[in-house]
Structure 1
Amino acid sequence: MENLQQPADARGVGEGSLAARYQYSPLPSARHTRLVTLHPGDFSDSDIVVDLDPIPLTPGCQPPYEAVSYRWDQEQSPLTVHVGKDRLFTIPVTCNLAIALIHLRYPDRPRHLWVDGLCIDQSDDIDKGYQVAQMGIVYCLATRVIAWLGPEGDDSTRAMKRIAWMGRQVDVDHPIWKIRPSSDCTEPAFVDEDAVIPVSAQDTLAIYHLVCREWFGRLWIRQEILACEPRAVVQCGEYQISWPVFRRGLAVLYRRRRPRWEYEGRLYNRLLLLRGFISQPPTIGLGFIRAAFGQSACSDMRDRIYALLNFLTEAEREIIGMPDYGKDFDVLFREVLWRWIDRFKCCNLISQCEPGIDHPPYMPTWTPDWSKKETFYGRYFWRGLASSQIAAVCTLSPDHKVLSLLGIPVQRITHLEPVPDIMRASTVRGIADAHRQLAPEHILDWEYHPTGVSMLEAYARIFIANTVAENSEPWAGTDPSLAEAMEIVRKLYGTEEDLASESRTLGPGDGFFQISRAILGTRQIMGTSDGYRGVAPLLAREGDIICILFGCHTPMVLRQEGVDTFRIVGECYALGLSEGEALLGPLPEGIRRVYTKDPKWGVHSYFENVKTSDRSFLDPRLSPSLVLPDFLSQLQQDPNAKLQVPVETLQRHFSGVRKFDII
C-alpha cells in the first residue's frame, strides 16, 4: 500500500522558520470566501508560498479558480505554508495538503485555488460555520475541481488507465445502477451484462490499492467532487482523468462480474463500502444518508449533517439551519429529528435509530446516530406503509430527553434466528446457503403463513422485504417478480445443476440475492406471538414488542423499561404487518400499491386498480370518517402528505391506541 508519511520533497516545508502565525482577517460578508494564489515553484523546492485574498461568492464576480478535494490527515505532524512573498507569516497544513500543493503548483506562473485547509480559518468556529454553509457554492462556481488522491504508487497509473478505459466503454445512470454500452464501446463484454469483464490480475491488484486510498472514504469529498461533476478531474501523481469517466469505471467494476483473481474478493469488499458514493443521486433525503454516506469518514461528527447540506432538499436545509460547531453532535442530531417531525408531521426518521451495544447512555434511543460507520445498504424497509398515511402524534419533554409517540402494540417477538454473515458475500452461494439455513425445506413444503399464503411465497417475500417488481414502477430492473422470487427459493433445494450454478459471482441478473443481502445482512429472522415471520434488528430479544407508531412507515421494535417507558431497538419488516394491515387490513381485491419516484415528489406511492388502471394517492382502506376534504387536495400537491387526525378520533377508530414514552 501507499506510504503517505512525510516524503523527501515535503519534509522541509516550513522547517526552521521564525515567521509568525498568520492571523486571518474577517471576511467582508457572509457571502465572501478566501482564494489562494499558489506561487510558482519547482517540484524539488519544498517551500510553499501563497497569498490569501477575499472574493465574493456571486456568479461572474470572482476570478477563475480551481477547487481542490483531498483527504485530511490530522494525525500527522503539521507542516507550514508561507503567506506572502516576503514570507513573514505561516499557516500550518497537513502533510498531504503540502504534497498536493507541491504537485499542483506551476513552475512558471501562479495558480488560483480554493483549498479548505487554507481558505477557512480552522481555529474560528464562527468563520468555519459560515464557510461550511456555502461550500457547495464554492465548488459549483469553480472552473474545475481537482480530486487529489496522492502521489503515484502501488501501480496507480495502471489502475487509473484501466478504470478510465472501462468508463469510456459505458454510459451509466448511477442512482439506478443502469449500465449500457456507450457509442464508443469496442469491448463485447460490456454489451452482455452477464459477461465477465476483462480485468487482469495485475489490474485487480492495482485498482484495489487505488480505491483503498483514504480520499475515497472521506465524507467531505462527496460534496466537493459532485458539486462540479462535469468539470471535475481525478489526479494521482501526475496522471489525471475526468471524474465522470472514472465514476463510470467504478460502477462497472462493482456491478458487473469480475474474474476470480486473488484480490477480487478484497476489491469487491472495498467497492461494497463505496457503493453509496458511486451511485449517489444529486438530492438525498435525511432518511437515506446512512445508506449513502454511512461508510464515509469525518473527524467531526457534526459534519455527518453539515457536510451533506448541498445534497439535501431545500426544506431539510432549512430544518438544519446555519452550521453551529459550538453544539454537541448528539444535541444536533436530536434537534434535527424533532424539527423534521414537526415540519413534516412524520416520524419516519426514527427508523434510522438502531442503538448498538456501544450506544452512549446519555443519548436517547430515539436519536438517529448518524455518526455510525457501518455497512448499510439502505434497502431495508423504506417501502413500508405500516401506519398508512396517518400523521405522527407526538410531544417532546421540556428537557428534550423523552419523545412521546402514539401508536399500537401489535405483536410480541417469540423466536429469533440470527442471519449468517452475508454482508460481504460476492457469490450467489454465499447468500443461498444462508437462505437454506433460515428456511428449511420442510417448512417451505408444509406450513402456511398467517396471511394465508404458502411459506414458499412468504419467504420469497420476506427475504427481500416484499420488493417484488409488481410493487414498483421499475427504475433499475433488478427487482424480481413474485414468480421469479418464488422459483429462486424453490431452487434452493433443486437439482445438482441448480446448486452448481450458485458458484457464480453476483451480477446484474442476481437482483434477488443482492436485495436479500441488503435486507438480511447483520439482522435476524423473527417469529411472533401470532405466527408472523419477518426480519428483526440484530439486538432484538424474545419478548420485545412490535409496534405501529402513527406517522412511521415501518413497524418498530421497542423494549419496555417501565409502565409507559420504552427504548427503541430498531425497525423491522413483518409480512402482513408492514403495509398497514395491522391498522386497516389488507388492500381490497384488485387494488395494488405501487412504489415509484419522480423528480418533483421524490419517492412516493400510489394505489392502482389492476383492471381499470385508475390511480389514486389516497389509501383506499382509510375510513371516510378519518379523511378530511382538504387532505385530498394536499395529496395532489404532495403524495407524501400526512393525514392529521385528532387523538380522540384515533382512539375511537383503532383499538389498543396508547402512548409510548421513548427514552
Structure 2
Amino acid sequence: MFTILERQVTEIRAQGPEDIVDPEHPGDTQPKVYKQLPVEPQEIRILKLQPGHSVLSPIEVSLSVVRLGDASVCYDALSYRWGESNDKVMIRVNGEYLKVTRSLATALRHLRRPDQEVTLWADSICINQGNDTEKNLQVALMGKIYRTASCVRIWLGTGSDDTEQAMQLVNDCKGFPDRSTVVARVVGDERGAIGLAELLRRPYWNRMWMFQEILLAKLAYVHCGTFEAPFNTLVYMDVVSSKAHLWPDRRTSPRWIFDLRRAFFNIAQFTIAPVELGNLEYVLQATRVLQASDPRDKLYALMGTCGMASYVTIDYRSPFRDVYVEFTKNHSRLTGKLSLVLTAGWRNPESGDGDGELPSWTPDYRSSRPESDIYAGYAAARVFDASKGLCFVDESPEHDLSVRILKTRGFILDTIESVAPLLGGEDGRSQVLRAFDPQRPRPKSDSFGRTQLQAFCETILFDADGVKKDDGEDVRAQKRDRQHKHLLGFMHDLAMQHGHLSASGVGTPFSWNAFLGSSRKGDIESSVRYYEQLRDSAPRALDEYRTIFVREYNANAGKISSVFVTRGGRFGRSNYTIRPGDAVAVLHGANLPVILRKAGPCYKFIGGAYVSGIMYGEVMDDLGIDSLSESVLLI
C-alpha cells in the first residue's frame, strides 16, 4: 500500500505548482541569492534542508559557502534526474524564492527529516546555473564533490506498492549473503522482483552525469519514495544475476525472473571496476549509451575520472563541435595514439546539422547507436600493433581548433577491390566464399608465408591471437595448433557446402590446391593430405573442428561487418560502410589498419580494419618504415 507520505505527494502533484508557490512571490530572484554568496576557486555552496513536520510543509533551504576538502565539512551529495525543465516549483532559499524542477523538490521532500537539518549538495541549487563562468569552474569540481561526500543519495523518484516491495527485497539481500540465497529470495518474491525490474528501467539509469556521481561515491544509497537501500547490495545482486547456472531454466521459469535479470543490464555502466576508471577509451565506450541534454556534458560529466582535465577545458560558451574536436585532437597529441579517432568514422551521422557537423576523424560522443564496433573494441584492448609502436605526431597548423583537418603521418598500403557482407549462418558463409576469387595471387610480402585459405580463415574469424615474431617456440606451437584446427574446420565446412565429400576425393569442380595457392606448396599438400586422412579415418574429428570454426565465425560475423579483398590480393574486414576504391592505410599512432576514403587531396576516416598479415607490424618490418611514411590529411 502507498504510505501516507506518498499519497500526500501525489495529491500535491495533482493540485499543481500554484499551491506550492507563494502567490505574492511569483518571480524568480535567483541572481540575488547567488550574488550574496559568491564562490572562490575550490569553494562550493552547500545547502541545509530544514526540518519538515509534514509533507505539506514548505521547503526551506539555507545556503552557505564552504571550502571543498575542509575536513570539518560533512555533506551528502544528491544524484537525481533533473526532469522537465519547464516543470518547476518554488522553494525558499535563504528567505528568497527560487525555482527548481519538480523532480528536485520531490526529492527534497522525501530526504528531509522531521526533527533535524540535512546537509546536502545538489547541483541545480548549489551552482548558479545562469552564470556560465561560475558553472565552468564548479562543474570542474564535481568529481571531487562526489568523491568527498559522506554519502551519495541516489533519487529514483516516488514509489508504488511494487517498488516498496522491491526496496524491501534489496534490503533482504544486504550483507552479501550466499549467492544461492539471493536467488532463492528473488525467486520467492514475485512482486518484489517485478518492482525491482521497474526501478532498474527508470530513466535515471540512462543519464550521463550519474556515471561519475555513482562511481566516485565512498558510500551510496538508493532512495525510492520513503524507502532506501545500499547501492552496493544492488551491485551484488547484479553479479548474482549474471551467473546463469544459479537460476531456474529460462524455458520453464516465470517470465518475470528473466525480465529482472535483463533489467540489471541497465546498471552495467555503474558497476565497472574502479581500476577501469583510468582507461579513457573503455569509459567512453561504456558510457556511449548514456544520454545528456547538453551534448558537451557527454565529456564534461567525466571530468572527475580518466584524467579528462588534461584534454579538455570546460567552457559552456563553446559549441559542442569545437569541444569534441579539441578533446579528440588534444588526446591524440598528448598520448601519441589515435585510439579515439578509431571510434569515429562510420559511427558518426552521415550528415551534420549545420554548426554541429563533425570531421570524420572526430567521434560523435553524442551517439548512442546500438551497433557495437568490434574494431574500436580491439583497438581499446590494445591487442594489435599495426603501426609497430610509432606515435602520432600532430602536424596540423597551430590555429583555430575548429579546423577540420588532422594532419598525421602514415602510408597507403592498398585499395579495396571487392566487398561482401560478413553475415552469420550457413547462407552468410556461402555468400562470403562466393565473393572471392580463390586463384587471386597473394601479396609477395607475407612474413609467415600464409596461404590464401589461411589468410582468409584468419580474416573471417578475426584472429586476435595470431603468431607474433617475438613469440617463444611453445607459444608459437600452441597458436599454430589452434589455427590449424580452425583451418581444418573451415576446409570441412567449405567441402560440405560445395558438396565435395565423395569417395573419389574433394571433387573436380573445386580444387584445394587452386584455393590454397602455390606460395607454400609443401604446406598445401600437408593440409590437404591431413584433411583427407581425417575425412577417411576420423570424420568425427573434422565435425568437431567444423563446429568450433562455425561457432567462432558466428561470434565475429554480423550485419555491421563486411569482408574485402584488395587489388594486391590481401584479405581484410571492416565495417559495412566500406566500398570498392577505399584505401587501406596504416597511420602512426593507430594499432589497427584503417580504411580511408579519398576526398580531394585529403581523406575521410571510415573505420578500423583487420587485414591478414599486417596486424602486428609485419609490413613495417618487410617494407621499411622510413620509405613508407608520408603526410596524410584527414577531414
TM-score band by shorter chain is: 0.7 to 0.9
Are 1:522 and 2:560 counterparts? yes
Match of 1:414 in 2: 417
Q: Show the 5 A alignment for 1:287-298.
A: 287-298=281-292
SS in 1 for 2:340: helix
Deviation at 1:324, TM superposition (A): 1.0
Deviation at 1:109, TM superposition (A): 1.5
Match of 1:384 in 2: 384
Match of 2:132 in 1: 125
Deviation at 1:548, TM superposition (A): 0.5
CA distance in 1, matches of 2:97, 2:551: 55
Bigger CA drift: 267-276 or 53-62?
Answer: 267-276
Contact 2:420 2:432 in 1 (8 A): no
Residues 77 and 246 of structure 1, relative CA distance in 2, 3 Å threshold: same
Are 1:357 and 2:350 counterparts? yes
Residues 269 and 481 of structure 1, relative CA distance in 2, 3 Å threshold: farther
Contact 1:9 1:44 in 2 (8 A): no
Residues 364 and 101 of structure 1, relative CA distance in 2, 3 Å threshold: same
Match of 2:56 in 1: 45
Please, which runs of 5 or more residues in structure 2 have no aligned partner? 444-448, 472-477, 497-538
Residues 416 and 289 of structure 1, relative CA distance in 2, 3 Å threshold: farther
Residues 143 and 393 of structure 1, relative CA distance in 2, 3 Å threshold: closer
SS in 2 for 1:660: strand
SS in 2 for 1:416: strand
Larger Rg belongs to: 2
Match of 1:277 in 2: 270
Q: Please give the per-residue CA displacement for 1:133-170, whole angstroms capped at 9, x wherever unaligned.
A: 1111111221111111111137224444555666855x
Residues 277 and 232 of structure 1, relative CA distance in 2, 3 Å threshold: closer
Match of 1:658 in 2: 630
SS in 2 for 1:8: helix
Question: Residue 245 of structure 1 is aligned with which of 228, 233, 236?
Answer: 233
Match of 1:635 in 2: none
Are 1:319 and 2:311 counterparts? yes
Q: Please give the per-residue CA displacement for 1:578-636, whole angstroms capped at 9, x wherever unaligned.
A: 22223225xxxxxxxxxxxxxxxxxxxxxxxxxxxxxxxxxxx9x8xxxxxxxxxxxxx
Q: Please give the per-residue CA displacement for 1:43-79, whole angstroms capped at 9, x wherever unaligned.
A: 53152111111111123142x2111111121355111
Contact 2:422 2:429 in 1 (8 A): no
User: What TM-score, normalized by structure 2, do the two folds share?
Assistant: 0.73
CA distance in 2, matches of 1:416, 1:42: 71
Q: Please give the per-residue CA displacement for 1:495-549, whole angstroms capped at 9, x wherever unaligned.
A: 99x99xxxxxxxxxx9x97997688563333333344444312322222111101
CA distance in 2, matches of 1:439, 1:152: 51
Contact 2:81 2:204 in 1 (8 A): yes
Match of 2:120 in 1: 113
Contact 1:69 1:148 in 2 (8 A): yes
Residues 42 and 526 of structure 1, relative CA distance in 2, 3 Å threshold: farther
Q: Which amino acid aligns with 2:377?
A: R
Are 1:14 and 2:7 counterparts? no
CA distance in 2, matches of 1:472, 1:278: 36
Residues 583 and 185 of structure 1, relative CA distance in 2, 3 Å threshold: same
Are 1:152 and 2:152 counterparts? no
Q: Which amino acid aligns with 2:60?
A: V
CA distance in 2, matches of 1:539, 1:290: 23
Please, which runs of 5 or more residues in structure 1 have no aligned partner? 170-183, 421-433, 474-479, 500-509, 586-620, 624-649
Q: Please give the per-residue CA displacement for 1:539-564, whole angstroms capped at 9, x wherever unaligned.
A: 222221111011211211111011x2
Are 1:578 and 2:572 counterparts? no
Contact 1:412 1:546 in 2 (8 A): yes
CA distance in 1, matches of 2:432, 2:318: 56
Bigger CA drift: 101-110 or 220-229?
Answer: 220-229
CA distance in 1, matches of 2:481, 2:238: 32
Q: Please give the per-residue CA displacement for 1:253-282, whole angstroms capped at 9, x wherever unaligned.
A: 245366535367766665556433332534
Contact 2:461 2:552 in 1 (8 A): no
CA distance in 1, matches of 2:188, 2:240: 11
Residues 298 and 469 of structure 1, relative CA distance in 2, 3 Å threshold: farther
Question: Residue 348 of structure 1 is aligned with which of 325, 336, 339?
Answer: 339
Deviation at 1:245, TM superposition (A): 2.0
CA distance in 2, matches of 1:572, 1:44: 59
Residues 47 and 359 of structure 1, relative CA distance in 2, 3 Å threshold: same
Residues 60 and 117 of structure 1, relative CA distance in 2, 3 Å threshold: same
Match of 2:212 in 1: 223
Bigger CA drift: 30-39 or 278-287?
Answer: 278-287
Match of 1:69 in 2: 79
Match of 1:176 in 2: none
Residues 553 and 16 of structure 1, relative CA distance in 2, 3 Å threshold: same
Bigger CA drift: 111-120 or 526-535?
Answer: 526-535
Q: Please give the per-residue CA displacement for 1:24-51, whole angstroms capped at 9, x wherever unaligned.
A: 1253411111111111114531521111
Residues 582 and 80 of structure 1, relative CA distance in 2, 3 Å threshold: farther
Q: Which amino acid aligns with 2:59?
A: I
Contact 2:169 2:192 in 1 (8 A): yes
Match of 2:220 in 1: 232
Are 1:329 and 2:310 counterparts? no
Count of residues paired in the alignment: 536
Contact 2:411 2:587 in 1 (8 A): yes
Match of 2:366 in 1: 371
Contact 1:438 1:525 in 2 (8 A): no
Bigger CA drift: 13-22 or 46-55?
Answer: 13-22
Residues 366 and 469 of structure 1, relative CA distance in 2, 3 Å threshold: same
CA distance in 2, matches of 1:46, 1:513: 63
Residues 328 and 188 of structure 1, relative CA distance in 2, 3 Å threshold: same
Are 1:405 and 2:399 counterparts? no
Residues 154 and 441 of structure 1, relative CA distance in 2, 3 Å threshold: farther
Q: Show the 5 A alignment for 1:191-230.
A: 205-229=194-218
User: What TM-score, normalized by structure 1, do the two folds share?
Assistant: 0.70
The structure whose residues are more often helix, as a share, is 2
Contact 1:49 1:81 in 2 (8 A): yes
Match of 2:299 in 1: 305
Deviation at 1:326, TM superposition (A): 0.8
Residues 45 and 411 of structure 1, relative CA distance in 2, 3 Å threshold: same
Residues 467 and 487 of structure 1, relative CA distance in 2, 3 Å threshold: same
Q: Which amino acid aligns with 2:391?
A: A
